[in-house]
Amino acid sequence: MNARTRATRCALVALCLTPCALRSAAPQQAPPAHGLFGSDEPLQLTLRADFKALAKDRGTDRRTHDGVLTYFNAGADSVSLSVTLRTRGHFRLKSAICDFPPIKVDFNRQQATATVFRHTGSLKLATHCVDRPSYEHYLLEEYLIYRVYNLLTDLSFRVRLAHVTYADTASKREPLTRYAFFIEDDDRMARRNHAQVLAQKGITQAETDIDQTGLLTVFQYMIANTDWSVAGLHNIVLLRDSIGTIFPVSYDFDWSGVISPPYARPDPILGITTVRQRLFRGYCRTPEQFAEIFARFNERKDAIYALYRNQAGMEPKRVEQALRYYDDFFRTINDPGLVRREFLRTCQR
C-alpha cells in the first residue's frame, strides 16, 4: 500500500477522527538524550555574579559578566565552573518588563568536559523575569510547552529545568532561589537531527517539509501562539538536511495564550484582540493531510496532560486552566464542522 492510499483510507468522512500514523518528519530518528538533557529531574545549582550590573545591561552592545556556576552531581559532590553571563532577548529587555532578564551562559568547554555541561559552549537560560509567584508559574508553563513539543517531534529544542540560587556578589541581599530552565543550543539540536542550521530569511512555509511544518502550525494553534514567522526567522530556527529538505523548529513560547502573561499582546494586523484567541497561521492542506496531523495530537493527548498534572511547583488552578484550554483544542480537531471553520476556511492559500 503506497502512502497516498494509506492516507486516503485513514481519512474518514469525518476528517479522520480516529488516529492514524503521521510519518516522522525528522530527517532520521534522533538518538537518546545524554548529559544535561538526559534527565527530567530539576538541576540544583547556584550562580554567583554581579547581577545588579547584569540586569542593567540592556543596550545593543551587551557586555559579558564573569560568574561561577556550582551544581551537585549524582554523587552529591559539588562541581564549580567558571562561566560568563550575558543578557539576551529583545522585547523583554527593550520594554524593561523583566526585572531579571533572560540570560545566556557561556562555558569553558575544556573545564566542562567531565561535567553535565560537557559538549556545551553556550546555553540560553530562561528566567523568572519578575520576582512574583505568578511569573514563576509562567516560566514553568513555558517549560512544559517545550516538553509537549518534544512529545510530538524530535525536531524540537530539549530543555532542562533547574532550581537556581542567584547569589549577587555585589550586594548584601540574601540569595534568591527560583525556577529556570536551560534550552538546547541550536547547533546541537541540528546535529542531533542530522541537519545543519540554515540562517536564511525569506523562506516560506511552502518551501519547507510539508509534514513538519503542518505539525508546527497546528501545535502553534494548540497553544495559541502567533508570535512566530518562518520567513522572518522570528522564534523559528530552520534546519536543512543532507538532501536539502528544510525543517522549521519553533521556540520561545512565553506569549502563548495557554500561558497568557500580562505583557503578551497579539499583533493588531492579525485581527484578534487577545492572545487567548486561537488563530491558525499555517498554509492550507487537504482534509486528509490535516487528519494525519490531528492523529498525532490525539495519540499524545494523555502524555501531554500527564506532563502538566505531574509537574512539581505548578499551581493546581493553573494546571486545570491549561488543560481546559487544551480540551477546547482537542474538541475542535475532532469535530468536522469546527475543523472546517478553524483550519480549512482560515488557512493561508
Residue 198: which residues within 8 A CB-CB, separation 6 or more? 238, 239, 240, 246
Coil, helix or strand at residue 268:
helix
**pLDDT on residue 100:** 85
Closest CA to 117 of 160, 67, 155: 160
**pLDDT on residue 56:** 82
Tens-place pLDDT, residues 138-179 = 999 999 999 999 999 999 999 999 999 999 998 888 999 999
The letter for the amino acid at 12 is L
Task: List the grid coordinates of 316.
Answer: 493546581
**pLDDT on residue 88:** 84
Task: List the grid coordinates of 261.
Answer: 502573561
CA dihedral 258, 259, 262, 268 (to 10 degrees): -40
**pLDDT on residue 12:** 36
Task: Please list the alpha-helical segments (H only) found in the chain.
Answer: 3-10, 51-56, 91-94, 133-152, 186-192, 210-223, 287-309, 316-333, 336-339
Q: Determine the Cα–Cα distance for residues 347 and 281; give it in Å rounded to an integer.
A: 6
**pLDDT on residue 120:** 85
Q: Where in the chain is the domain with CATH 1.10.1070?
A: 193-344
Q: Determine the Cα–Cα distance for residues 249 and 190; give it in Å rounded to an integer.
A: 10
Q: Determine the Cα–Cα distance for residues 33 and 117; give it in Å rounded to an integer.
A: 13
pLDDT (tens place) for every residue of the chain, 349 residues total? 444 444 444 443 344 333 333 434 444 444 445 689 999 999 999 999 998 888 887 766 778 999 999 998 766 688 999 999 998 876 666 656 788 888 999 999 889 988 999 888 899 999 998 999 999 999 999 999 999 999 999 999 999 999 999 999 988 889 999 999 999 999 999 999 999 999 999 999 999 999 999 999 999 999 999 999 999 999 999 999 999 999 999 999 999 999 999 999 999 999 999 999 999 999 999 999 999 999 999 999 999 999 999 999 999 999 999 999 999 999 999 999 999 999 999 999 8
- CB burial readout 51-62, b (16+ within 10 A) else e: beebbebbeeee
**pLDDT on residue 116:** 92
CATH of domain 193-344: 1.10.1070
**pLDDT on residue 92:** 62
CA atoms within 13 A on the CB side of 321: 13
Q: Is the dihedral of CA 298, 301, 303, 304 positive or negative?
A: positive
